[in-house]
Amino acid sequence: MIERAQPLGRLTEEEILSQPNAWRTALRRCQEYFPEWRRTAAGPAALTFFVGCGTSYYLAEAAAAAWRALAGGEARAVPASELLLFPELYLRHERSDRFVLISRSGATTEVVKAAQFCAAEARAQVLAFTCREGSELAAAAAQTFVFPEGFDRSVVMTRSFTTMLAALIAFAGAEPASLAPLPEAGEALLRRFAPVAEQWGSRDTAAYVFLGQGPLYGLAREAALKMKEMSLTASEPFHSLEVRHGPKSVIAARSAVVVLSSAASRQWEEQLLRELAQQGAATLRIDEEDGDCALASGLDLYRRLPLYVLPCQLLALMRARAQGVDSDRPRALSAVVEVRLA
Ligand code: F1P
């Protein structure tokens, strides 16, 4: 029998390609959950904190931006560890804050402890978004919204990130049906960009830089983390226009610069990419209409945010394969980070 070796990172690839279907299920679920969300979370809160760790923290950043833009509420993202270790920098007893804790597993030590801590603050409302039923996080939250279709069996988070992001955007915009075009746009984008990612993966690249402004900065941070976790490649995120204020000095011939762009920053970023290309860098612009990777969603910036992540995940996967790195077995990482203090 001829046994064909499975390509490296096969499980992670399957989960990357499964995202549009996961979004279809999640958006249907959002319709079911929405009355409960509106009942528990639409009330006035002085400030809504979106909280997570690692990938889930960057999800919190994108969700906070969507909440400010679409729900018009005051919101910010914070790593769970900050709430635990420096609560005085964030909590105000005279304010009635809302905490939305985000965790694929619902078991990450910092997130569970942060939920328990905030719940103990009498005036705080604690909600949770997760991909696993019956988690410790759910036990600490007043209300938990579970999206099992987003759960990743792989260590690195891919579909859990975009599925929970789509749900949080749907809730922030108060109309889940407005994201209906997302899955089909995602399927077309994955098909269109796969050969580009393969070509980029085999380039001689020393380091990646991911850029974004506004709600895209949190996604640039997630893209840089994916490139690290999946391919062991040095990668850094910046606000796009921050690059001239120092980081530009290390961008050279073996640099790859990827910008997540949109109308508000497009002209500025096109000029910046021209300058970085003159320094020898390979550049790629992900945008709605034109550029090297067109999302072609027909959606507004906030409702198409999950789409920006797909090409970045494919870039990391193909880079890993080209380097002989197995994204399914990331170095020194575990699917759930549990800390037992001595
Ligand atoms: C999040 C996390 C990720 C990390 C890796 C393992 O866990 O720690 O931040 O990048 O994928 O999982 P969770 O709290 O979302 O379960």
pLDDT in tens, 138-185: 999 999 999 999 999 999 999 999 999 999 999 998 888 999 999 999
136 bridge partner residues: none
CB of 177 closer than 6 A to ligand 1?
no
- Does the pLDDT at position 341 exceed 90? no
Q: How far is the CA of 227 from the centre of ligand 1 (A)?
A: 15
- What pLDDT is attached to residue 171? 94
Q: Phi and psi dihedrals of 168, rounded to 5?
A: -65, -35
The confidence band for 332, taking pLDDT boundaries of 50, 70 and 90, is confident
Q: Length of the chain, please?
A: 342
Nearest alpha carbon to residue 113 among 86, 87, 80, 90:
80
- Does the pLDDT at position 4 exceed 80? no
- Does the pLDDT at position 342 exceed 90? no
Mean pLDDT within 111-122: 90
- What pLDDT is attached to residue 85? 94
Tokens of 18: 């499964």
CB of 189 closer than 6 A to ligand 1?
no
Q: How far is the CA of 26 from the centre of ligand 1 (A)?
A: 20
The rounded distance, in Å, linking the Cα atoms of 312 and 323 is: 17
Which amino acid, 131?
C
The rounded distance, in Å, linking the Cα atoms of 293 and 245 is: 26
- Does the pLDDT at position 318 exceed 90? yes
Instruction: Give the CA distances from residue 44 to residues 34, 37, 47, 71, 139, in Å, rounded to whole numbers and listed in that order.
Output: 17, 13, 9, 11, 24
The rounded distance, in Å, linking the Cα atoms of 319 and 230 is: 8
CA-53 nearest atom, ligand 1: 9
CB of 142 closer than 6 A to ligand 1?
no
- Does the pLDDT at position 301 exceed 90? yes
Q: How far is the CA of 115 from the centre of ligand 1 (A)?
A: 16
The rounded distance, in Å, linking the Cα atoms of 301 and 286 is: 12
CA-334 nearest atom, ligand 1: 6
Mean pLDDT within 53-81: 96
- Contact indicator for 99, 127 with CB cutoff of 8 Å: yes
Instruction: Give the CA distances from residue 149 to residues 21, 47, 61, 99, 179, in Å, rounded to whole numbers and listed in that order.
Output: 9, 30, 22, 23, 17
CB of 305 closer than 6 A to ligand 1?
no
Mean of all residue pLDDT scores within the chain: 94
Q: How far is the CA of 278 from the centre of ligand 1 (A)?
A: 37
- What pLDDT is attached to residue 340? 87
**Residue with tokens 């920098």, as numbered in its chain:** 89
The confidence band for 280, taking pLDDT boundaries of 50, 70 and 90, is very high
The rounded distance, in Å, linking the Cα atoms of 124 and 96 is: 6
- Does the pLDDT at position 94 exceed 90? no
Residues 6+ apart with CB under 8 A from 147: 22, 26, 29, 129, 130, 131, 160, 163, 164, 167
Residues 6+ apart with CB under 8 A from 162: 19, 22, 23, 150, 306, 309, 310
Does pTM surpass 0.85? Answer: yes
Integer Rg of the chain from CA? 20
Q: What is the 8-class DSSP label of residue 332?
A: T
- What pLDDT is attached to residue 122? 62
- What pLDDT is attached to residue 198? 96
